[in-house]
Amino acid sequence: MFHNKIFRSVANTDNGEVGDETRFHYQQDGELVWAEYGGGAIRKGFLIAAVLPDNSLDMRYQHVNTQGDLMTGRCRSTPEVLPDGRLRLHERWQWTSGDESAGESVVEEV
């Protein structure tokens, strides 16, 4: 479902660092999903996730932003199949670094 997919951010709460220039390159091996990401305010990032029975992702992420800060967090990402067959991921996340605030974002397959 996620293997070799590229996603871009289409919405994020103000406390997030991912923006419309950020690209996520997903890979999948069975119940294991991982991605490398970067662009915009993100210099380099990585995520790893377990696919749950409902196809949502239980995810942990880490990145270095353009200011040089190492940021970490957790996310639950729920997929939606769009009418054209692309995936949209609805994400509820929380920083485990910095102010530990929470937010929501949406990324779509390009």
CA–CA separation, 105 and 84 (whole Å) = 21
Q: For residue 16, what pLDDT is reported?
A: 96
Compute φ and ψ for 89, nearest 5 degrees: -110, 125
Mean of pLDDT over the chain: 97
Residue 98 has a pLDDT of: 94
Q: Other C-beta atoms within 10 Å of 22: how many?
A: 22
* pLDDT for the residue numbered 54: 96
pLDDT value, residue 104 = 98
**How large is the average pLDDT for residues 73-86?**
98
pLDDT band at 9 (very low <50, low <70, confident <90, very high): very high
